[in-house]
Structure formats: structure tokens, C-alpha cells
Structure 1
Amino acid sequence: MTLAPRAVLVHRTTEYAELLARHGTHGQAAFFLSSRDRDIREVAERHRRTHRALAEVAAAVPHRWRQSRVERADLDRFLFGPEDVVVVVGQDGLVANAAKYLSGQPVVGIDTDPGRNPGVLVRHRAADAGKLLAEAAGGRGGVDELTMVEAVADDSQRLLALNEICLGPAGHQTIRYRLTADGRPASPKAGGPAKTKTGAGIGAEAQASSGVLVGTGTGATGWLRSLWQERGSALALPGPADRRLLWFVREAWPSPTTGTSLVSGELTPTERLSLTVESDRLVAFGDGMESDALTLTWGQTVHVGVSGTTLRLLG
């Protein structure tokens, strides 16, 4: 017997709910904000809009379907099934948070606060949920296949992300590693003596920095773009469906044993950026979710590149 589709509603705790959890009552939360020249009414109204949207989407789910809800903080413990239709109710970033746990399920993004959210990934309104669910389950409607980035460690740990993967120290320190890059680099800069050429890629270099960012075309509207703009990079930013990535080393430090020549580049699906840890610990996290990160210790290597998994987002 074929299982009926399941609508999985992904949401996150609102700012108002977090204020109540911290202060106990609406009045105490209102006093806390007012003493800082802030008004709780705007926060409470966004909370009400979010819950109205959740209720409207839940009511639109067909009666024969199954239905589940998962909060952002519980995504790493939730088991998605192949028959699921994932409905993200909230902001653009919540789609990215959910994407790393999916394996090809169709995703519908519902904007709870039109005009406040950019609406790049949450493209629809709650009133359209019924029609969108039917289209997703029936394979109808336009679906965008958005490129994702993945990190795979030498002990088989794997991490997926929609926007970017950041590799760096667990705190605000400098980390040492050896970087090996395939692909096309940006215009080279003067670096230390640690750089060596490799036959297959553009080179290898011992580095000390605050981390490395590898981003997709979806991430090119955020953190990746800020680094690209700051560097005045000659590399073209990818589009969300482009099968290529850009990478940037953050604040590389020159020394007698570490260089700054390989600080940015581009990766196609056949190319990888590899980091071998040469200090205490490196963490790799995706889309700002540091609570769900890979941890690598001295001598371990992680390879980052275009993932074979894409996010199937209804247009």
C-alpha cells in the first residue's frame, strides 16, 4: 500500500514567544522593551501573523494526507520521509535551515511577513497553500533545482548547506591548516613561501586564518556576496541554479610558514577544496547553524564542493 503524502510544516519560535519564555508574562516583556525605547506591539503582531499563517497552511492540507510539524531547533532530530512535502512557514533563512536535512523532497516556502522578508526562498502566501500542496505532490508546477554545497570529512562525516559552509575555529581564534584547491583561482596575491603547485589543481598552501567560506548562488545574496564585494573579486557570482561555487579565505595571515596566495577561487562539480587540519580543532557548519557542525582534529582532512543533492523549491 502506498503511503499518503505527509505535509511537514517547518517553523521557528517567534521573537515574542522567546520574550515570554524569558520574562514570564506579556506585561513584563513589554516593560523590558519599553525601558529600552522599544515597543512590544510590533513583535506581538509578527507573532500573530506567523501563527495565522501556520493555521491557514495546516487547514489547507488535504484530509487524506498525514501532517507533522517541526520547529527549527529540532530539525536535526526529525526524520524526513521520501513521500513528504515540506512547507516552510517563515523567513528565507528557515528554508536554508531545513534544506540540509532533505534528500530531494519538494519544498514550498510560505512568507509570513511579506514586505519584511526578501521572499527569495519563501515565495508564496498562506492562502495559496492548498494549490501548492497539490502541485508538489503531483509533480506539477515549476520546480527550481537550487545548488547546494557539501563538506565530506575523511571519517565519512557529511554536511550539506544551501547558502554556504564555513570552516574555521570553534571560537574567535586563528586556525592553521593546509589548503589544496582545484578549479580556477582569482587573481593571485603575493603570498608566503608555503605555496606549492600541484599537477591536478591550482595549488596547495599552508595557511593561518579565521576560516574559509564556500558559498552557492543562493548564498550570493548574503555572506558570500559581502566577501566578494569586499575583495573586489573578478570572479562572477553564481546564480542559485548554477552548478558552481565560490570560496574565500577570511583574513589569511602571512608568516614564515604560512602564505596568503590562495585566498579565493571557483569550483565546478568535478572540483574540490580540501583542508587538512594542522591545529587543535576545526569546525564546519552550514547556513549559520553552529549547533549542527562537523568537528575535525589535527591531521584530518575535509573536502568541500558542489553537492549531488539539490533543493527542489517550488517557483
Structure 2
Amino acid sequence: MSEPYQYRFILVVRKTRLQELIERFNTWPQARFYLEHNQVDAQDYLDEHDLYQRRIQEAERTLKALGRFQRLERGLLPNYQFSPADIVITIGQDGLVANTLKYLDGQPVIAINPDPGRWDGKLLPFEIGELKGVVTRTLAGRSACKTITFAEAKTNDGQRLLAVNDLFVGPKSHTSARYLLAWNGSQETQSSSGIIISTGFGSTGWFQSILAGALGVAGGEHHPLQGGFAWHECRLQFTVREPFPSRTTGTSLVFGAITPEMPLQLESQMPENGVIFSDGIESDYLTFNSGTVATISLAASQGQLIV
């Protein structure tokens, strides 16, 4: 990676809370009135927005001086055509990193924490002052990189969805999901509030809340997967939420590992409102209604996060 101009730097940004409020209320004065009427400090929104814009400007100046540059808003990610030679830089919270990785095919991602005083940034190893140095090291092939295993859902009608953190399979609303689950040579008809399939990258998130709830109900204190598992592991972990035992539905296949040799298969028994979505983005989903069979497995593509 010694010739910078053969590469393109893609800076992925997101809207601030202030920008989202202006979209909702049309103007900042109206949004400010709404906040202050509800005893919320509007100045905090302004401070966050102003600092974020400064960080974006700093990143733009740095990247434009190093090579070809493109700025991309998060909402455009699903339709953007990335090049194999792109180097992607995100400025935002942890969620922006996950959202971005899902649409890449092995391009390296450099994650910048725009406001360390506000965000812990478990997935944001760098601050804006380190950007030039880490880009230079990446171009020279001297940056350390962590590989991230993705989950993939494929259906018998040709739908496909990747997940960086987790997949949810279940009902669109707060009702029961009904499906036939097949895994590790066994199958079972189940009724539950849905299934979570976690990657190693997402195993310290939603997956941990499920484990904590199960331990609390069972009166336990420890589980081998407390703290999650490695990002690069060739495995996923599925958990059935609130399985209901009855004459026709079982609860014996509610927790297990998905490996290349043991995918998970789910056949919907829901006439309507069945969905599969990933990484908490409910608006981008696959339909999972009667007649749909979904296979959950490890994706062929992987993410690359510079650390």
C-alpha cells in the first residue's frame, strides 16, 4: 500500500441528534422549544453537534491531503458501491461501525471516536489526532487488524441478509413466533418471542442481556460465555427467547452454537408479520412468513477493523 492515490478514503458520518430533531420539527427554534418545554438541556444537543461537525472537518482536511476522498452519510450505505481499494473511516458511535462493516467486503475500517468524553467507544480505538498516523500505517501495511465473523440469513425464496452483531428472527410486534427449528440433527416446533443469533462481535451486547436474565431466573452466577467470545471465531450462538412449552411446542433446542458443520434452519409457521432483521435495524428486514425456510450460517465475507 505504498501509493496512496490508488486508494480512496471513504468517510462515513451520521446525523447528530440535533439534525434529527430539526428533521422532525422543521426548524431548530421549534426543536429547542420542544426540548426546553420538557426540561431538557438544549445546549447539550448544540455542543454535541458543533463538536461532531468540527471533527468531520478535521477528518476531511486530513484525508484530502492524503488521497482521493468521498464523504458518505450512513443512510446511503445500502446503495453505495464500494471499491476493493477503498479504506473506510467512520466517525461516530459503536453502532456506526457495525452498520458500516455490514456493507463492506473485507475493506479495512478505521473507527474514530469524535467525543471520548461522551462516548466510551468500545469499537472506537482512535481519536481524531491519530487519524493521519493510522492511515499512513494502513497504507504501508503496518496496522494491526482484527477479523470479524459475520452471520448470514438466506431464505428459500432468494432473500439474504448479513449481520455484524446479531440477527433477530421472530414476530414484527409483541406476539408469539411459531416455527420449526432444526439444528444438530434434531428438530422441534416452537412458540417463542423470537430467536437471537449473535456473532462474536455482538456477543457482549444483546446476547449478554439474555444470559443475565437466564442466570437471574435460574439463580446462577456464572456462565462460560459471560464476556462473550472472540470476534474472529468461526461460530455463532443462537438463543430462543421465552420458549413456551405446550402439547405441540417444545423447549429442548433453545441454546447452541452454529458452526460451518452445524447451521441453523428455521421454517416459519406464521401467516403474517414474521421478520428477520439484523443489528437492531428493524426497517431493513426479510419477510419470514409461512412457506419461508431460513438457513442461518457463517457468512463467507468477513469484516476488518483496524486496531
Asked whether the two chains share a fold, i.e. TM above 0.5, the reply is: yes
Match of 2:300 in 1: 308
Amino acid of the structure 2 residue aligned with 1:224: F
1:290 aligns with 2:282: yes
Q: Provide the C-alpha distance between the structure 2 equivalents of 1:113 and 1:174, rounded to a whole number of angstroms.
A: 41
In the alignment, structure 2 segments of 5+ residues that lack a partner are: 216-221
2:142 to 137, 140, 143: 140
Aligned residue in 1 for 2:115: 113
Q: Distance in 2 between matches of 1:181 and 1:302?
A: 12
Give 3-state SS (helix, strand or coil) of 1:221's partner. coil
Q: What displacement does 1:3 show?
A: 7.1
1:69 corresponds to: 71
Q: Distance in 2 between matches of 1:26 and 1:278?
A: 47
Task: Show the counterpart of 1:253.
Answer: 244
Instruction: Tell me the residue number matched to 1:208.
Output: 191
Q: For 1:68 and 1:228, locate their aligned partners in 2 and report how far apart those are by CA, in whole Å.
A: 41
Q: Is the counterpart of residue 228 in structure 1 residue 219 in structure 2?
A: no
Match in the other structure for 1:177? 179
Q: CA RMSD in A?
A: 1.9
Q: CA deviation at 1:241?
A: 2.6
Q: Does the 8 Å CA contact 1:210/1:251 hold for their aligned counterparts?
A: yes
The separation in 2 between residues aligned to 1:14 and 1:64, in whole angstroms, is 27
Q: Report 1:114-129 matches (<5 A).
A: 114-129=116-131
Q: Indicate if the aligned counterparts of 1:4 and 1:64 stay in contact, CA closer than 8 A.
A: no
Q: How does 1:139-178 map to 2 (within 5 A)?
A: 139-178=141-180
Tell me what 1:35 maps to. Answer: 37
Q: Is the 8 A contact 2:7 2:68 kept in 1?
A: yes
Partner of 2:24: 22
Separation in structure 2 between the aligned mates of residue 278 and residue 114 of structure 1, nearest angstrom: 46
Counterpart in the other structure of 1:9:
11
Select the residue among 299, 306, 310 that pairs with 2:291.
299
Distance 1:76 1:258 in 2: 38
Q: Which moved more, 1:27-36 or 1:83-92?
A: 27-36
Distance change (3 Å), C-alpha of 1:235 and 1:301: farther
Percent identity over the alignment?
A: 37
Give 1:17 shift.
0.9
Distance in 1, matches of 2:291 and 2:26, equals 48
Contact 1:9 1:86 in 2 (8 A): yes
Q: Which amino acid aligns with 1:243?
A: C
1:211 to partner: Cα distance: 0.8
SS of residue paired to 1:61: helix
TM-score with structure 1 length normalisation?
A: 0.88
Q: Whole-Å Cα distance in 2 between the matches of residues 275 and 118 of structure 1?
A: 37
- C-alpha change, 1:63 and 1:116, in structure 2 (3 Å) is closer
- TM-score, length basis structure 2: 0.90
